[in-house]
Amino acid sequence: MKIGLDVMGGDYAPQNTVLGAIETFYELQTDTKIILLGDQNKITEICRENGFDPGNFTIIHCSESINMDEHPVKAYKKKTDSGIVVGFNLLKEGKIDAFASAGNTGAMLAGSVYTLGPVAGIMRPCISAEVPMLNGKKMLILDVGFNSDSKPDVLYQFGILGSVYARTMMGVENPRVALLNIGVEEEKGNMVTREAYKLMSDSSDFNFVGNMEANNFFTGDIADVLVTDGFAGNIALKQAEGMYDLMQQLGIENRHIERFNYENYGGTPVLGISAPVIIGHGASSPTAISNMILQAERALRYKLTEKFKEALTNG
């Protein structure tokens, strides 16, 4: 298996990305190889400064990089020799099996849609996040930022994607799927959530358990998968990140709170596209980069994309 890494992506690239790749090298399965995409001279220099043989990686030199503040689509179309564009092209051609970057999120989403495209039958891909629960488990929330607005039938498909992910990657045998809403009653919410509730309540594709309010977001008592649009989902995720930052500033040490540290998860998978893609946090540390690569490896090992295709075909 070959995992491509955009070395120049992120606020602290290429230092943190190369160090993360080095850290991961010793944890990957023997048949997994890391392909580094970026400035070959800088990659080689960082490896040697840290006593690591750059020959352990396959390095593909890329003369350009997409900065965090650039317009995503324009930069993606213009900078064809950037690590992000080269990575997506290699993924499409089957020369790598998964791709990860902590770079420009918009450019990563552009590549996911324009170069790879969705799995047949998927109307809109989405991005998801695993949120730690008080009961020791995790809850998957999707979408967390890909689609600011989503129609009811798209939310329904998020239920399918989330259920498949929870079974495959989280080991939940029969995931409980809930819809984020302002009340638990069927008639609560706006037009979109009310129509989505009707569709989901009749579903044979997943185990729908009804609406869930935000005050149950961290308990894990109601759902394993929480469906919402990317606008509300992103706000909820950023609130969780802000809560963790607040606890850090207050000097509060707690094992459960530490589970909210994004470094432990590495990145956000794009669900519903034709190959595994992981988007990392812009401020990723080497540990976060390492976990991002490991997450890509797990998606390949568990054949996540194939499971999505099977679910849509059977549906």
Query: What pLDDT digit, counting tens, does each position of 244-272 carry?
Result: 888 888 888 888 777 777 667 678 889 99
What per-residue confidence (pLDDT) applies to 33?
Answer: 94
- Whether the per-residue pLDDT at 315 is higher than 70: the answer is no
Could you check whether 1-122+272-303+311-315 and 124-262 share the same CATH topology?
A: yes
Tell me the C-alpha distance between 173 and 74, whole Å: 42
Q: Partners of 277 in the beta sheet? A: 99
Mean pLDDT value of segment 59-75: 92
Class (C level, CATH) for 1-122+272-303+311-315: alpha beta
What is the residue extent of each domain of the chain? Answer: 1-122+272-303+311-315, 124-262
What per-residue confidence (pLDDT) applies to 46?
Answer: 96
Give the residue among 217, 252, 259 at the shortest CA–CA distance from 235. Answer: 217
Percent of the chain with pLDDT over 90: 62
Cβ proximity of 21 and 36 under 8 Å: yes
Q: Which of the four CATH numbers 3.40.718.10, 3.40.640.10, 3.20.20.70, 3.40.630.30 does domain 124-262 have?
A: 3.40.718.10
Tell me the C-alpha distance between 131 and 5, whole Å: 25
What per-residue confidence (pLDDT) applies to 314?
Answer: 66
Q: What average pLDDT does the chain have?
A: 91
What per-residue confidence (pLDDT) applies to 47?
Answer: 95
- Whether the per-residue pLDDT at 219 is higher than 60: the answer is yes
Stated pTM of the model: 0.88
How many alpha carbons lie under 13 Å from residue 172 in its C-beta half-sphere?
Answer: 21
Pick the range with the lowest mean pLDDT from 106-110, 178-182, 225-229: 106-110
Query: What pLDDT digit, counting tens, does each position of 30-44 carry?
Result: 889 999 999 999 999
